[in-house]
Amino acid sequence: MSRSRHSYQPRHGHNLPHNPLNAIIAPRPIGWISSQSARGERNLAPYSFFNCFNYQPPIIGFSSQGWKDSVANIAETGEFVWNLTTRDLAVAMNESSASVAQGEDEFALAGLTALPATQVSVSMVAESPVNFECKLTQIIQLQDANGEKLDQWLVLGEAVVIHIDSELLEEGIYQTAKANPVLRAGGPSAYYTIGDDRRFDLVRPDARSKI
């Protein structure tokens, strides 16, 4: 690695062809979020700022730039579903990101099957091998270091039901690489997948004595 560094203050711009933030904090799982308005209108949209934040109960969350349909629907109903994006669903996921009129069904737009959930009144992506049915816990408006409110909304929800395709379980262990998940990376169009050929294992110091 070079000892030379490109340093910048984000408030004053990065002076690069493309903002490097998304490429540095990467790859990131995709928050493919399905929701439904109080009127029963389905919505499906991917969010690249997504992750899991708690084990028990499982809390997952995504961040939306602007009060978009997904956030509005979840605020109305208190429910949503996260659907795992796999390589064979990548094109459909991308199609569901299109800016369309409010109320237009992205399931139909992307050629996907809407499967009723079991504990929430939101449709799941039937083609996805993993679905989390979630109940809203918090919607947080982000703010900067000066306390100024941003038009950025962090939506957190508790996964009350988790569905996993049985083929992804081997002796009861979920096989991450076998699912062939799609991960968001830098630039306007970069995505990645993972494979077992890239795997390595590290045992935490506190767990070494238990092996």
When the pLDDT of each residue in the chain is averaged and rounded to a whole number, the result is: 94
Taking 90 as the threshold, does the pLDDT of residue 174 lie above it?
yes
pLDDT > 90: percent of the chain = 83
The Cα 75–Cα 62 span in angstroms is: 14
CATH superfamily of 25-191: Electron Transport, Fmn-binding Protein; Chain A (2.30.110.10)
For residues 12-33, average pLDDT? 91
User: Closest Cα to residue 116, out of 34, 39, 38, 37?
Assistant: 34
For residue 187, pLDDT over 80 is answered with no
For residue 90, what pLDDT is reported?
97
Q: Could you state, in order of their start, the residue ranges of all structural domains in the chain?
A: 25-191
3: Cβ contacts below 8 Å, ≥ 6 apart: none
Residue 128 pLDDT greater than 80, yes or no? yes
Lowest mean pLDDT among 12-21, 64-73, 154-163, 201-210: 201-210
> How many contiguous H segments (helices) and E segments (strands) does the chain have?
4, 14
The whole-model pTM stands at: 0.93
The DSSP 8-state label assigned to residue 173 in this structure reads E
8 Å CB contact between 109 and 46: no
* Residue 51: band (very low, low, confident or very high) from pLDDT cuts 50, 70, 90: very high
Give the count of beta carbons closer than 10 Å to the beta carbon of residue 65. Answer: 12
DSSP 141-170: EEE-TT--EEEEEEEEEEEEEEEE-GGGEE
